[in-house]
Structure 1
Amino acid sequence: MPRKSPGAKAKGLGARLRSCRENAGLNLRDAAEAIDWDKSMLSRLETGKRNMSVEEVAQLLGVYRVRGQQRDDLLAIARAMDEPGWWEQSVPELPAGLATLADFESEAVRIADWAPLLIPGLLQTSAFSRAWLGSVGVAESVIDSRVRARARRQRILAGEVQYVAYVGEAALHTAVGGGVTAAAQLAHLREVSRWPNVSVRIVPIGSVPPRAQLGAFIALEFADSPTVVHVELVRSSVFMDEDRQTDPYIGTLTAVDSVALSETESAGLITRYQARWKDSAQRIELA
């Protein structure tokens, strides 16, 4: 099996190895020369842009004179680098971008989602996901696997990750799959918003800050590595982790947070839209 692309574990391990190097009083050049590496190679490893083998980690720890439990812990992380995630075991055909996102989500301690026009994927029902994927031209042959993958990704919300979804009111207007599906989706959104680690905040129409009108994105925070921002494009995904790249998105979240309704106000608005879609579906059935 080919080595996986670097993900959250690589970033976390790289950050800890950088700390070990600095504690040893070595700069990048000295550390790289000690193991006959190029300085750029070590830099990529420390920033999580390159996977690393157990042997490479052990070599670095030797140079840094790291011993005991700390050494054992870091080597254990290195050994786990190539262990397949759930997405590789159950949905091997998942596109690379979504697989990388699933990897980051599984390691994040906090996730902030800005979704101005559509219910976020982590909060979608299977029926809503299926209808949406079909409406945007995803091949019927892969819709089932995509829906399964999205449902599996949502299991992280049952864990300890703190998740906040800023949802544009326009998304509540969207009757993906028809009134019945829309009403069921909003009922689910209302239910999940009651979970202690989940916050759903609606941004009213007309209140979306100009800087937030450029589109949806996800910001993922980790315990020991830089924040990653994910932007989904039509046929690809972009991941950013440098401050100069992520700072504008963090600023956008701050702007969105300042105009979003409270959780209580958001719940009330969701309930009203749910009732509207339910009533609309019933009238269509009676027609």
Structure 2
Amino acid sequence: MALRREPTARQMRLATELRRLREAAGLTARQAAALLGVSPAQITHIESGLSGVSEKRLRRLASHYACTDEKFVDALVAMATDRTRGWWEEYRGLLPTSFLDLAELDHHALFRHEVAILFVPGLLQTEEYARAVFSSRVPELTSEELELRIRHRVARRVIIEGPSPIPYTAVIHEAALRIRVSDRTASKAQLARLLELSEADHITLRVIPFDLDGFARASSTMTYVGGPLPKLDTVVRDAPHGSVFIDSEAQLSAYRARFRKVEAVSLEPGQSRDFIHDLAKEL
């Protein structure tokens, strides 16, 4: 079987989890290969995401690694046997792979939590707002690159506006609501969009006003995406070179606690809608 040239983030996550299981069992890649009856190179390829693994081999590995968490093993099997080719594949070769990885992560998410400090979260942006954000990129995008990014961002809305939306919570700082990425008209349209979305049963919007106490220790942008089990959740952080996926159990636990802190000091959903409505009237 030919090796993958560029594993997706989801394929890499499976590879990472299998390596973690092996290391927790105290086995080397060579020892794991001997137990499975394959070459050490095959274990290396599986654990680097360059090669897939069948359900039979994955369950054998889990058994050799003394993993007794059946739900976790079942979740890994689902990842290993998934053959989904989603809408994002049409952008392969046209957009950086981090865009595709993010859309794939969205597709498999059970819920999504966001904290936004300076910009409205991407899934909630109007097209004009998104255009202004992408237009400010350095180096400047070509018109074709700009349109591709906007189309991709709009398509990602399917997880909160499609036929099977997931629970979505966004905590947005007042700064993000007030900063005009474009002009007054665009800002007003963006606030109207937030108010419209906040009426959906599966969407919760909360605001952190400038004058709210207790925010200093929890003030960082983050996206927390729920997996089939807490240990398969993912945190996404933006970086200059693209999105960074964080998945260690210690970090996931820290980010869960951080989100709870931010949520605790934010306004209730009803108060948040009133706040956004009042802000819109100021424009």
TM class, shorter-length: 0.7 to 0.9
- Taking only aligned residues, the RMSD between alpha carbons, in angstroms, comes to 3.6
- Whether 2:226 is the aligned partner of 1:221: answer yes
After TM superposition, the structure 1 = structure 2 runs for residues 31-180 of structure 1, keeping only pairs within 5 Å, are 32-35=33-36, 36=38, 38=40, 41=43, 45=47, 50=49, 52-53=51-52, 56-61=54-59, 78-81=80-83, 83-90=84-91, 92-137=93-138, 138-141=140-143, 142-158=145-161, 159-180=164-185
Q: Deviations over 1:93-124 (max 9, x none)?
A: 22122221211111110111110111000100
C-alpha distance 60-176 of structure 1, shift in aligned 2 (>3 A): closer
- % identical aligned pairs: 26
Other structure's SS at 1:261 match: coil
Matches of 1:209 and 1:101 in 2, distance apart?
28
Matches of 1:167 and 1:40 in 2, distance apart?
46
Q: In structure 1, what residue type is equivalent to 2:239?
A: L
Question: Residue 15 of structure 1: CA displacement?
Answer: 6.5
Question: Residue 233 of structure 1: CA displacement?
Answer: 1.5
Question: Residue 75 of structure 1: CA displacement?
Answer: 7.2
Matches of 1:60 and 1:91 in 2, distance apart?
28
Q: In structure 1, what residue type is equivalent to 2:142?
A: E
Q: In structure 1, what residue type is equivalent to 2:181?
A: V
Q: Would you say the 8 A contact 1:109–1:160 is kept in 2? A: no
Q: Would you say the 8 A contact 2:91–2:100 is kept in 1? A: no
Matches of 1:98 and 1:253 in 2, distance apart?
24
Q: Would you say the 8 A contact 1:28–1:42 is kept in 2? A: no
Question: Residue 150 of structure 1: CA displacement?
Answer: 0.4
Q: Deviations over 1:192-248 (max 9, x none)?
A: 1111111110011143622333x3111111113522111102233221100222333
Q: Would you say the 8 A contact 1:6–1:51 is kept in 2? A: no
Q: Deviations over 1:78-104 (max 9, x none)?
A: 4534x5332221464221222212111
Other structure's SS at 2:280 match: helix
- Whether 2:11 is the aligned partner of 1:5: answer no
Q: In structure 1, what residue type is equivalent to 2:221?
A: A
C-alpha distance 268-167 of structure 1, shift in aligned 2 (>3 A): same
Other structure's SS at 2:224 match: strand
Q: Would you say the 8 A contact 1:13–1:78 is kept in 2? A: no
Match of 2:250 in 1: 244
Q: Would you say the 8 A contact 1:52–1:78 is kept in 2? A: no
Q: Would you say the 8 A contact 1:169–1:202 is kept in 2? A: yes
Other structure's SS at 2:193 match: helix
Matches of 1:76 and 1:212 in 2, distance apart?
34
Question: Residue 181 of structure 1: CA displacement?
Answer: 0.6
Q: In structure 2, what residue type is equivalent to 1:88?
A: E
Q: Which moved more, 1:110-119 or 1:72-81?
A: 72-81
Match of 2:195 in 1: 190
Structure 2, unpaired ranges of 5+? 65-70
Matches of 2:110 and 2:15 in 1, distance apart?
16
Q: In the alignment, which of 269, 275, 281 is matched to residue 275 of structure 2?
A: 269
Q: Which moved more, 1:27-36 or 1:134-143?
A: 27-36
Runs of 4+ in 1 over 6 A off after TM superposition: 12-16, 70-76
Q: Deviations over 1:254-284 (max 9, x none)?
A: 110111100000001111112222xxxxxxx
**TM-score, normalized by length of structure 2?**
0.77
Matches of 1:41 and 1:174 in 2, distance apart?
50
Match of 1:259 in 2: 265
Matches of 1:6 and 1:91 in 2, distance apart?
11
Q: Which moved more, 1:159-168 or 1:199-208?
A: 199-208
